[in-house]
Amino acid sequence: MATKIKLMRLGKMRAPYYRIVVADARTKRDGRSIETIGKYHPKEDPSFIEVDAERAAYWLGVGAQPTEAVAAILRVTGDWQKFKGEPAPAPMKVAAPKADKKAIYEEAARAAMGEPAADATTPKKKAAPKADAAPAPAEAVAEAAGAAGSGTAASGAPAETPAE
């Protein structure tokens, strides 16, 4: 039986991802496969490629022919060069591992349990003492005017008399 190593398309419109499968050469693109040997996600940055090198080497050894796209993927991973006996290519770019959401949450919770930041909260202003500390503004003006004028004004008489 003639076998091919090809890509089986999955996903939705404009968001494809592929399985690298070994299938009979006459089956449909997404038809029945003999074995799945890897994954390929082209929309990720950098593209996610995962190939079971041992199974790929086995199928290449028994005569399975890779399609052009799969051959390019096998060259990137180095499996094609290993099969042909050529020098290995430069290593693939690998995406940086994502931070664990649970760890980020726990770190934020620990920070919140500690002291708040200096500008995070504003304390209430303290009210001035009412009667004992300072006289009312009208009384202060009258006392200042009385002290500047004659001594009779300070006795309690108004500083100005109404005109008749």
Return the pLDDT at 111.
84
In tens, the pLDDT along 43-91 reads 988 889 999 999 999 999 999 999 999 999 999 999 888 888 888 777 7
CA distance 51 to 39: 6
pLDDT class for 32, splitting at 50, 70, 90? very high
Any domain includes 33? yes
Return the pLDDT at 128.
78
pTM tops 0.85, yes or no: no
Any domain includes 125? no
The set of residues, in sequence order, having a beta carbon less than 8 Å from that of 31 and lying 6+ positions away, is 23
pLDDT class for 142, splitting at 50, 70, 90? low
Q: Give the lowest-confidence range in 89-98, 141-150, 154-163.
A: 141-150
Return the pLDDT at 35.
95
The residue with greater pLDDT, 143 or 92, is 92
CA distance 18 to 41: 6
Any domain includes 26? yes
Any domain includes 62? yes
What's the CATH number where 55 sits? Answer: 3.30.1320.10
Any domain includes 111? no
Return the pLDDT at 147.
60
Q: Which domain does 31 fall in, by range?
A: 3-84
Return the pLDDT at 52.
94
Any domain includes 10? yes
Any domain includes 60? yes
The set of residues, in sequence order, having a beta carbon less than 8 Å from that of 11 and lying 6+ positions away, is 17
* Count of domains forming the chain: 1
CA distance 36 to 121: 58
Any domain includes 40? yes
Mean pLDDT, range 19-25, rounded to an integer: 95
